[in-house]
Amino acid sequence: MGVSKRYKNAVSQLGRVCSDAGRDVQEVTLVAVSKTVGMREVAQAIEAGARDFGENRPDQLMEKADHFPDVNWHFIGNIQSRRIRDIVGRACLIHSLHKLQHAEKINQCAQEQGIVQDVLLEVNVSGEESKSGLTPIDVGPMLDACNSLENISVRGLMTMAPQGDEHAVRATFEGLAKLHGELRARMPRKQAEQFTELSMGMSEDWPIAVEFGATFVRIGRAIFSDEF
C-alpha cells in the first residue's frame, strides 16, 4: 500500500471516529507528519488530498515549504532560538512553544515580517521527564506573558501522550482538554475566541485524542511508513 492509499484510509477513519464521537469532521485537521520522507512522498500525499503537513526540523520545513508553498506547513519540533527566524512565517502554526524567551523571539521575527504568528503552547501533561513542555500550572502565566506580545496569537494547547499505556494516554488527552477548558473559561471573550485549538494524537493514539476534542491530529507513520 502506498502513501496515497494510506492517506485516504486515514481520512476515512477520521470520518468514522468523528461520527462515533458525535463530532463534525470539519473540526479536526489531519496534519500529515512528513518528517521522515522526501518531496516525492509529500507530492503523493498532496495528490491524494493532503493540505496540512508537519515538520520537526527547520531545514526540512524550509526546503519543503518552499517547494510546496500552496499547502499549510506546521512546525511540531523542538524550537532552537537561532532557527526561529527560519520557522516564523513559513509555519502557519508552531505547535511546540513552551519557553518565554522563544515567544519573545518569535514575536520579534513576526513583527519584522509584519505578520501575527499563530502558536500553540506545548504542555507536558503526563509529567514524564523525557517530554518537553510546560507543566500544567505554568501554562496560565505563560499565556499572560504571550498576551502582551502583539505579533503572537496563542491559538491553543498541544501535548504528546506516553506510549503504550492506553489508560495513561486517555488521562493525558483528558487532562489537556480540561486545562484548555479551564483556561478558556477565565479569558476575556476576544481572547477566548482565538483559543480554540487542541493538538493531540499521533499514529498510535489519535482516535482517542479525537474523542477528547482534538482539533489537530499529527499523523506520521500511519501515512508515510509501510511498516506501521
Ligand X SMILES: *Cc1c(COP(=O)(O)O)cnc(C)c1O
What residues make contact with ligand X under the rule CB under 6 A?
33, 35, 56, 76, 160, 202-203, 218-222
Q: CB 226: neighbour CB atoms within 10 A?
A: 9
**Nearer of residues 149 and 157 to ligand X, judged by Cβ:** 157
For the CB of residue 187, give the shortest distance to ligand X in the complex, in Å.
Answer: 26
For the CB of residue 195, give the shortest distance to ligand X in the complex, in Å.
Answer: 20
Cα–Cα nearest to 5, from 32, 36, 44: 44
For the CB of residue 182, give the shortest distance to ligand X in the complex, in Å.
Answer: 24
Residue nearest to ligand X (CB): 220
Helix (H, G, I), strand (E, B), or coil: what is residue 57?
A: coil
Which strand (E) or helix (H) includes residue 157? strand 152-158
* Phi/psi at 42 (5° precision): -65, -45
Cα gap 184→180, rounded to integer Å? 6
For the CB of residue 122, give the shortest distance to ligand X in the complex, in Å.
Answer: 8
**Nearer of residues 86 and 122 to ligand X, judged by Cβ:** 122
For the CB of residue 56, give the shortest distance to ligand X in the complex, in Å.
Answer: 5
Question: Are the C-beta atoms of 121 and 157 separated by less than 8 Å?
Answer: yes
**Nearer of residues 149 and 169 to ligand X, judged by Cβ:** 169
Q: CB 119: neighbour CB atoms within 10 A?
A: 28
Cell of 137: 500550572
**Nearer of residues 142 and 222 to ligand X, judged by Cβ:** 222
**Nearer of residues 10 and 183 to ligand X, judged by Cβ:** 10
